Homo-oligomer: A and B are copies of this chain.
Amino acid sequence: MPNQLLVDPADLTRFTTEVFERAGMPREHAEIEADVLVWANLRGVDSHGVLRIPWYVKNIDDGVFNLNPNIEIEKETAATLLIEGDQAFGPVVTVYAMNKTIEKAREAGVCWTLIRNTTHQGAMAYYSLMAVEEDMAGIAVVCSPPNMATFGSKGKGVHNSPIAIAVPAGERNPPVLDMATSVVAGGKLSLAEDKGEPIPLDWSLDPQGNPTTTPSFDNVLLPFAGPKGSGLAMMFATLSNTMVANPLLEPNITGRAPTPRGVQNSFLVAIDIAAFTDVDEYKENIDRLIAAQKTLPKAEGFDEILVPGEPEYLTQADRSQNGIPLPIGTVDNLRPIAERFGVEMPRPV
């Protein structure tokens, strides 16, 4: 019995769109949601792909994720936006917000946007790359209730806030970094769970704060580089949660006002390159920067020096052509969803 199913990307998009539409989401929202999830799978970021669907559906059932949100611009200056997400699905509000952010950055040179009360946004790289399409640099950061140990602690004190940064290139693929402030993203634990594989000791602690090799969504993630990962996470919280008066960390630590995991706040930035320099020259210099990296002496065990995003572009080229491998654990978890909503399972290639 194979341990994975190779599915057709277009049909996985069809499946995902139908699930969310039948769950009650407007068609155009379901299409955005499906695009963001399948894009993550295409790039090999399976931890942020369709594996999340059952958890999303549970969150709809629990009334946490809002299928028909009232998304509103609450505050606006020449170069800032505050958007209330009304617990919309992350991709729905974030695509809307990034488009507005880009529009304002075109006028003001930069725009800094806060989203309050979004829910899980998927792969943050997606949004930073929206800015790149418009010859801008894009940044996207998120903070959710605590899931990571603060440095010096064995309990959940911060969120492993991911940050994505992307910039345009010329002939090359646009460099794009998308990293959590934990050793690994939480979705990697879910993926290990789906695959039935143990995890390294330095990834997380068990929910009681003890060392563990058992993957669980409830584990306490560990920050990368100790105080650095933990410190970045804390500062990202002060730039997102605190900035929108939706604290998420402290109320969950103290039990004052617990918020369900998956609710989050986020900030987005678009920086118009033309406000600073010539865009074509910028892109040429990025190509040169990438080319120069590849001439460096290689460390032992490395055949090529890859820049941020490059491994994912290679996977994307491969999977677009040959299909997306879903672990059988993921497929098994999607089956009841397909049945519940009367949607045909994604077709093998």
Query: Chain A interface (Cβ within 8 Å of chain B)?
Result: 75, 77-80, 82, 107-112, 114, 137, 149-157, 165, 167, 175, 177, 179, 183, 209, 224-225, 227-229, 231-232, 234-235, 237-239, 241-245, 247, 249-250, 253-254, 269, 271-273, 275-278, 281-282, 285-286, 288-289, 291-293, 295-300, 302, 304-308
- Complex CA gap A82/B278 in Å reads 13
* Contact A245 B299, beta carbon cutoff 8 Å: no
| Chain B residue nearest to A224 in the complex (CB) | B225
* Contact A289 B238, beta carbon cutoff 8 Å: yes
Q: Which residues of B contact A241 (CB under 8 A)?
A: 285
Q: Which residues of B contact A228 (CB under 8 A)?
A: 179, 224-225
Q: Which residues of B contact A179 (CB under 8 A)?
A: 227-228, 231-232
Q: Which residues of B contact A237 (CB under 8 A)?
A: 289
* Contact A281 B245, beta carbon cutoff 8 Å: yes
A234/B307 contact (C-beta < 8 A), A110-B110, A154-B298, A275-B75 known: yes
Q: Which residues of B contact A75 (CB under 8 A)?
A: 275-276
Q: Is the interface of A mostly helix, strand, loop or mixed?
A: mixed
| Identical chains bound together, number | 2
Q: Which residues of B contact A281 (CB under 8 A)?
A: 245
Q: Which residues of B contact A278 (CB under 8 A)?
A: 245
- Complex CA gap A228/B275 in Å reads 28
* Contact B253 A109, beta carbon cutoff 8 Å: no
Q: Which residues of B contact A286 (CB under 8 A)?
A: 238, 242
* Contact A238 B299, beta carbon cutoff 8 Å: no
Q: Which residues of B contact A109 (CB under 8 A)?
A: 77-80, 112
Closest 9 A/B residue pairs (Cβ): A77-B109, A80-B109, A79-B79, A153-B296, A224-B225, A250-B292, A110-B112, A152-B302, A231-B308
* Contact A297 B153, beta carbon cutoff 8 Å: yes
- Complex CA gap A82/B109 in Å reads 11
In the assembled complex, the CB of A272 is this many whole angstroms from the nearest CB of chain B, namely 8
- Complex CA gap A156/B79 in Å reads 37
- Complex CA gap A241/B112 in Å reads 21
A253/B293 contact (C-beta < 8 A), A224-B228, A235-B167, A245-B281 known: yes
| Chain B residue nearest to A181 in the complex (CB) | B228
Q: Which residues of B contact A271 (CB under 8 A)?
A: 80, 112, 239, 243
* Contact A107 B78, beta carbon cutoff 8 Å: yes
